[in-house]
Amino acid sequence: RTLRTAGNMFVVNLAVADFFMSLTQSPVFFAASLHRRWVFGERSCELYAFCGALFGICSMMTLTAIAGDRCLTITQPLALVSRVSKRKAGAVLAVVWLYSLGWSLPPFFGWSAYVPEGLQTSCSWDYVSFTPSVRAYTILLFIFVFFIPLGIIASCYFGIFQAIRAAGKEIRELDCGETHKVYERMQNEWKMAKVALLVILLFVISWSPYSVVALTATAGYSHLLTPYMNSVPAVIAKASAIHNPIIYAITHP
């Protein structure tokens, strides 16, 4: 029952997104790799890439929500935090899924496209074609589902660090029982925030090589990229769906 909190709803949502990322990507990629080419047809390629985009974006936005939840829990009064109900958390998650869906659907309607990539054993959005439409989609995609969420996450953790630092200073100056209780609560919440931070850092590290490849192609230097340079970062990125649940299973209370 203690795990049935609004904050832990975000953790469950991350696990769901990671599960479906693994379910829709890994078996298909493995089978295509055995044939050394994409053998499932154009429609399956589009669906495969769509699922990768949807669940990948959902994971990023859920991590952003987790960072915001940790920040709110640590920096705001306990009375305010207690008003963050499961219904409100559910509304946030609904926005996360709709936002992810909104960025995953455009390639079906002519804004960019879902195509085979790299060694032709997987599919993704077309970040190689040097056209205004494709470049615009890729640039906006990175701005709104990678860089802005990263900025929000960084701001949240900066606020957390500042709050803990201020509380520690207040304890040294006042040394009263109530302040100690508040600081102890913040320290407990910080332990959970550190787990979330570790997951976020590993997620960013996993997706960064893929981001560099896509942005390199978008900048007009796709001729510098070999098939392996396109494919290997994609595998590393999607592997984040595997280590996220492991970290939470080991460390999350």
State the Cα–Cα distance between residues 220 and 228, nearest whole angstrom: 18
Task: Kindly list the domain boundaries of the chain, sorted by start residue.
Answer: 6-251
Q: What CATH number does domain 6-251 carry, 1.20.1070.10, 3.10.20.880, 3.90.1150.10, 3.20.20.60?
A: 1.20.1070.10
pLDDT in tens, 48-105: 999 999 999 999 999 999 999 888 888 876 655 555 678 888 999 999 999 999 999 9
Alpha helices in 105-176 (DSSP H): 132-142, 148-174
State the Cα–Cα distance between residues 205 and 253, nearest whole angstrom: 25
Cβ atoms of residues 211 and 142 within 8 Å: yes
| 22-44 average pLDDT score | 94
How many C-beta atoms lie closer than 10 Å to residue 28's C-beta? 22
Three-state DSSP at 16 gives: helix
- Average pLDDT along the chain: 87
More confident residue, 166 or 82: 166
117: left (phi over 0), alpha (psi -120 to 50) or beta: beta
Cβ atoms of residues 167 and 183 within 8 Å: yes
pLDDT in tens, 110-131: 999 999 999 999 999 999 999 9
Cβ atoms of residues 244 and 59 within 8 Å: yes
DSSP annotation of 119? T
Read off the pTM: 0.89
| 221-232 average pLDDT score | 91
Encoding tokens for residue 126? 């077309």
